[in-house]
Amino acid sequence: MSDDARKGYRGLARTVLERHGVGVWSDVEIDSQQGRFTGLVLPRSETADDQHIVLKLSSGYNIGVAAATVVGMKETGRREAHYHIPEKEFPVDPGKPNVVLLGTGGTIASRLDYRTGAVIPAFSPGELYGSVPELADICNLRTEKLFGVFSENMGPEQYIRLAERIGECIAEGVDGIVIGHGTDTMHHTAAVLTFMVQNTPVPIVMVGSQRSSDRPSSDAASNLINAVKAAAEGDIAEVLVCMFGPTSDQYALLHRGTRVRKMHSSYRSTFRTIGDVPLAMVDPAGIRHLRQDYKRRRTDRSVQINTAFEEKVTILYYYPNMRPDVVDAVVEKGYRGIIIAGTGLGHVNKPLYPALRRACEKGVHVYMTVQTLWGYVQMYVYETGREIMGLGVQPAANMLPEVAYMKLCWALGQTDDREEVQRIMLTPVSDETTDREPYNGYLVFQGEIPEVQDFLRSIKR
């Protein structure tokens, strides 16, 4: 039997299967010291142990039989499973806007991987139409799978490819672009795309899901419907993130790509605009704008694509007792830019000063952001701040650390000139730094406070 016939099985479990001439997709009767088990042999996850054989029972349940207890095994038939999403050709309506969905991976469209037992991305217009037919009411959809990576594996290669492809799609005349993306680093990609793709005439909407699409309560379908809606019909021609708004299944929020951040490891409503308010609410009925200062959709096809990217940039997340050798090591390894996520208004401890001075003198570009995420770097308030600036560290206003990281990568990809880098860094492309923080830009409610409880009781969040 081929290797594939014992997919995922190693060690003892594999030996036992081999001894009885049985492979995956065999219907078997197994006699074991625990009694008899009847079912279909399934592939085993490669990360699981080598001691058990996985059976699917006729009731649909899976169980594991300990290989060491197996006394006999008899094949009674074979039955290979073919997982497929019912594919239907996506209908074309000349009266509807044309949207392209660029796939990068992630769980917006996914299927189960038998080897790892985990969810892997799967994606085609036909499959999407088969599972989310509502999309056809909004637009003509074309899909392109650019790459299939989990979002933590996204990097410059993917950013550049994505930006270039966006440029081509715009030139081809699409009315909107949706990017399917894993949620973990969606805000990193949203930030870098904001810098690489400027002056877009159409919406560029990033979307993902926090619950994989293989579950009935998945947010994938509703996020996708809302993102496609924003791309097809929306007026905001910017790089946006479209994700679940409240805890309830009600609407999605459109966030500016430079002000958005994933704030919970598992909540659906994990994406929040930080230090500002979101741009709009979206549901299948329509788009409700929350502010008017956005770039309008245009009919021209001009767009600037600048895919410059310097990889030797890092973020140092400051903690008390951080040692100067950390900074020295980064410089020694040839890093050209450092984003510090400092405490409070943008501070680090005194022992770091000489190391930071050495870094700046060696031409490393050092920018200060705040680990509080909300609020501005304000290094004039305390003497500490003024001293740190004196070392050559530049305050980056209220730019989020990850956004500052992406921007510095992009800036250093273009120039090494100190003043030019500084000009790029501190001139906002799309609100990565803002002049003012609105009063309702910081809302983190605390439970059990009576008025908050009243709110929760009366409003489905």
Partner 1 sequence: MGSFVFKPFEEMTADDYAAIGLMGGLEVHQQLRTRRKLFCRCPAGCYSSAYDCEVLRHMRPTLSELGEYDGTALMEKKTRKNIFYRIHHATVCTYEIDDTPPFFPDEEAVDIALEISLLLNLNIVGEMHIARKQYLDGSIPTGFQRTTILGVDGWIPYRGRRIGMRQLSLEEDSCREVSDEGHDRVLLTDRLGMPLIEAVTEPDMRTPQEIADVCQIIRLVCRSTGNVRTGYGAGREDVNVSVRGGTRVEIKGVPQICRIPLLVYNEAMRQCALLHIRDELKRRGVTSDTFESAVFDVTRQIARTKYPPIREAIQQGHRVRCVLLRGFAGLLNHPTQEHTTFAKEFSDRVRVIACLSKLPNLVHSDTAADLLAVRDWKDLGKRTNRGEQDALILVWGSEADARTACDEIVIRAREATRGIPNDTRQAFKDGTTGFERVLPGAERMYPDTDLPPMAITMDRLDRIRETLPVRVWERQEWYRSLGLPPDVIEPLCISSRAELFQRIVVELGVDSVFAGVVLVQRLKALRRDGLDPDALSDTDMFEVFGAYAEGQLTRAGVLQVLAWWLRLPPDQRSMSTLLQAQTHRPLAGAELDRWVADLVVRTQHTPFRSPEARLRNLTGRLIREAAGRVDGREAAECLARSLGDSRLQVSSKGGQR
Query: So which residues are the catalytic ones?
Result: 107, 183-184, 262
Question: Over the chain, what HEC string results?
Answer: CCHHHHCCCCHHHHHHHHHCCCCCCEEEEEEECCEEEEEEECCCCCCCCCCEEEEECCCCCEEEEEHHHEEEEEEEEECCCCCCCCCCCCCCCCCCCEEEEEECCCCCCEEECCCCCCEEECCCHHHHHHHCHHHHHCCEEEEEECCCCCHHHCCHHHHHHHHHHHHHHHHHCCCEEEEECCCCCHHHHHHHHHHHEECCCCCEEEECCCCCCCCCCCCHHHHHHHHHHHHHHCCECCEEEEEECCCCCCCEEEEECCCEEECCCCCCCCEEECCCCCCEEEECCEEEECCCCCCECCCCCCCEECCCCCCCEEEEECCCCCCHHHHHHHHHCCCCEEEEEEECCCECCHHHHHHHHHHHHCCCEEEEEECCCCCCCCCCCCHHHHHHHHCCCEECCCCCHHHHHHHHHHHHCCCCCHHHHHHHHHCCCCCCCCCCCCHHHCCCCCCCCHHHHHHHHHCCC
**Site for partner 1 contains 32 (CB under 8 A):** yes
Q: Which stretch binds partner 1 (CB under 8 A): 140-148, 168-176, 262-270, 353-361?
A: 262-270
What is the nearest approach in angstroms of partner 1 to the Cβ of residue 52?
A: 4
Rule CB under 8 A: choose which of 11, 47, 72, 93 binds partner 1: 47
**Site for partner 1 contains 213 (CB under 8 A):** yes
What is the nearest approach in angstroms of partner 1 to the Cβ of residue 223?
A: 12
**Site for partner 1 contains 426 (CB under 8 A):** no
**Site for partner 1 contains 152 (CB under 8 A):** no
Rule CB under 8 A: choose which of 52, 187, 255, 261 binds partner 1: 52
Rule CB under 8 A: choose which of 266, 427, 440, 446 binds partner 1: 266
**Toward partner 1, which CB reaches closer, 77 or 216?**
216
**Site for partner 1 contains 221 (CB under 8 A):** yes
**Site for partner 1 contains 215 (CB under 8 A):** yes
**Site for partner 1 contains 142 (CB under 8 A):** no
Q: Which stretch binds partner 1 (CB under 8 A): 147-155, 234-242, 260-268, 307-315?
A: 260-268
**Toward partner 1, which CB reaches closer, 217 or 299?**
217
Rule CB under 8 A: choose which of 1, 71, 81, 290 binds partner 1: 81
Rule CB under 8 A: choose which of 92, 112, 326, 449 binds partner 1: 112
**Site for partner 1 contains 456 (CB under 8 A):** yes
Number of residues that bind partner 1 (CB under 8 A): 62
**Site for partner 1 contains 302 (CB under 8 A):** no
Rule CB under 8 A: choose which of 16, 17, 28, 65 binds partner 1: 65
Question: By the criterion CB under 8 A, which residues form the site for partner 1?
Answer: 32, 34-37, 45, 47-49, 51-52, 54, 57-67, 69, 81-86, 111-112, 117-119, 131, 210-218, 221-222, 247-250, 264, 266-268, 447-448, 453, 456-457, 460-461
